[in-house]
Structure 1
Amino acid sequence: MPFKKLIQSLKDTLEHKDFYEPLPLQKSILPKIKGGASLFCIAPKGTGKTTSIVISVIQKLKGEAFEDAPRVLIFVKDKQAALDLQLEFNAYKRGTDLRVYCAYDEYNIDSQRDEIYEGVDIVIATPKRLNKIFFLNGINLNRLQMCIVEDGEFLFRNNNFAEVTRTPESIGKCQYLVFSSTYDNRFDRWQDSFMYKSQVIKFK
């Protein structure tokens, strides 16, 4: 997907950053994501995975806030990863009114529930905190269009894989994207269930 096909605010931001052409990885995956495919994107660090997430999400949501329930959920390993990804979104969502929110363990859960209730478009969350908020009826996942995992290696520590697996049990049809530097055989379980017919894109 050439950048010329993006919404104008994204094109303006990319040009401001002197970013005129997609990286090789992005040329491969951005059209597939735009087409609605669920993907396992397996690629080394520094190939543009995080930027691909940000561009794809902003494009999918057309840069426009809508109602109160989040339409995109992104799982990350910890608070710092959440805050770093939020900074990336803030840098690329200029000219839009998209609302990005971080949910992590080191913050009062009642405050998080109230803040999410006020309306967000994109939630960046650690798995355990997201599930705690969900089971407190603090987040509506019925409007999700995309569920994403950033740097999926963390899933296989501290029971995170099981925590993330719970989420699809609570939502309807959704596009799933998993970004990781390696493919773990445990991902096969997802391919046999909610990521049925997903594509595995490996990039060196």
Structure 2
Amino acid sequence: MPFKKLQPDILEALARLEITNATPFQERSIPVIKSGVNVFCTASVSAGKTTTLILTTLQKLKCEAVGNAPRAVVLVENKEKALELYRAFLNFAKHTSLRVYVGYEALHIDIQKSEIFEGVDILITTPKNMNKLFLLNGVSISQLLLFSVDDAEFLLQKSDWNAILSITQSIPKCQYVLYSEKLNPKLKRFESYFMERAKTIGT
């Protein structure tokens, strides 16, 4: 079972949250994501995509704080989605030393820069906000290990599409995982930009 091969801190969180069984999607996707390859993950709303994102991120970072620069970035569509995912991450990571930070356009960029500078392990934000932080030297991507997108269909919008291409052009080698309900042909085109040799896991 995928859950049995996760960090002890993650297993404790799963027990605390009374999550005992992996969904079929999680059984297929977690081992592949853990292997370190780029992955397109497609599944329905109730398949457990967001929980998979959280579990594999915590696993990748070994549930411990290291350094000051983000080692995982998660992009979402808007402020509401960012705050919702932030709360979900805190539920799982509350007994670890991991530092989770959420940023969005409505929060002044200088505040975000100063707070990120204090030290962050997981950064949750939107493509446009991430791009702005990057252009203003507000975030270092030198230690980045994992770059994920939750409900990636929003990237089909031109502004978000352009923002993620701008961001990924400057990122050194890291793992990319995109989660969506269906693999739109335009999302598949990311293989030509940053999702090299990506595997596709679906339900």
Asked if these proteins are the same fold (TM beyond 0.5), I'd say yes
User: Residue 9 of structure 1 contacts residue 94 of structure 1 at CA under 8 Å; is this kept in 2?
Assistant: no
CA separation in 1, counterparts of 2:167 and 2:132? Answer: 11
**Is 1:125 the counterpart of 2:150 in the alignment?**
no
Listed as ranges, the gaps of 5+ residues in structure 2 are none
Give the structure 1 partner of residue 55 of structure 2: 55
Matched AA of 1:189: R
Matched AA of 2:63: G
CA separation in 1, counterparts of 2:85 and 2:137? Answer: 25
Give the structure 2 partner of residue 188 of structure 1: 188
Matched AA of 2:126: T
Q: CA deviation at 1:27?
A: 0.3
Query: What secondary structure, in the 3-state scheme, does the structure 2 residue paired with 1:51 have?
Result: helix
Structure 1 residue runs of 4+, over 6 Å off? none
Listed as ranges, the gaps of 5+ residues in structure 1 are none
Give the structure 2 partner of residue 144 of structure 1: 144
Matched AA of 2:74: I
TM-score by length of 2: 0.96
Q: CA deviation at 1:193?
A: 2.8
Count of matched residue positions in the alignment of Structure 1 and Structure 2: 203
Give the structure 2 partner of residue 21 of structure 1: 21
CA separation in 1, counterparts of 2:43 and 2:165? Answer: 22
Query: What secondary structure, in the 3-state scheme, does the structure 2 residue paired with 1:82 have?
Result: helix
Q: Residues 121-177 of structure 1, C-alpha deviation per residue, up to 9 Å, x if partnerless?
A: 000011111111111111000111011110011111251111111112111111000
User: Residue 100 of structure 1 contacts residue 121 of structure 1 at CA under 8 Å; is this kept in 2?
Assistant: yes
Q: Residues 3-56 of structure 1, C-alpha deviation per residue, up to 9 Å, x if partnerless?
A: 222111111111122212211100000000111011111111010000000000
Identity %: 38
Give the structure 1 partner of residue 3 of structure 2: 3
TM-score by length of 1: 0.96
Give the structure 1 partner of residue 70 of structure 2: 70
Give the structure 2 partner of residue 170 of structure 1: 170
Give the structure 2 partner of residue 44 of structure 1: 44
